[in-house]
């Protein structure tokens, strides 16, 4: 079992301490890099008053992507189930 250990992540120039499993550390660090990179893109592309504006825009973007992925996943799963039912019906007819 993975033991958790403390790390400090710097997100938008602010440090955040958290405990992570060794198996999750790389993914978490990559997520922080993606957040900081996307925030830099937003800073260069849009007018903003403070970092809250940047975080709000990023939240909308990321949540939209998550919802689209969930919708796509549901579509793929329904198509997969449909095909599996077709296969099952063909197999039952052959018996």
Rounding to the nearest 10 degrees, give the CA dihedral for residues 57, 63, 64, 67. -170
Tens of pLDDT along 3-12? 999 999 999 9
Best CA proximity match to 21, nearest among 41, 5, 43: 5
Q: Which fold has domain 1-45?
A: Double Stranded RNA Binding Domain (3.30.160)
Residue 23 and residue 27: Cα distance in Å, rounded?
8
State the pTM of this model: 0.73
Structure tokens at 70: 């969930």
Assign 94 a pLDDT band (cuts: 50, 70, 90).
Answer: confident
Q: Return the domain boundaries, the chain.
A: 1-45, 49-95
Kindly report, residue by residue over 16-70, the tens digit of the pLDDT: 999 999 999 999 999 999 999 999 999 999 989 999 999 999 999 999 999 999 9
């Amino acid at each position: 079992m993975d033991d958790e250990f403390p790390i400090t992540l710097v997100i938008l120039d602010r440090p955040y301490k958290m405990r992570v499993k060794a198996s999750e550390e790389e993914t978490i660090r990559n997520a922080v890099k993606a957040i900081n990179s996307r925030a830099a893109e937003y800073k260069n592309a849009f007018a903003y008053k403070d970092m809250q504006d940047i975080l709000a825009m990023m939240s909308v973007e990321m949540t939209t992507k998550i919802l689209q992925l969930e919708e796509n996943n549901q579509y793929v799963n329904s198509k997969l189930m449909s095909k599996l039912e077709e296969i099952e019906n063909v197999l039952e007819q052959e018996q």
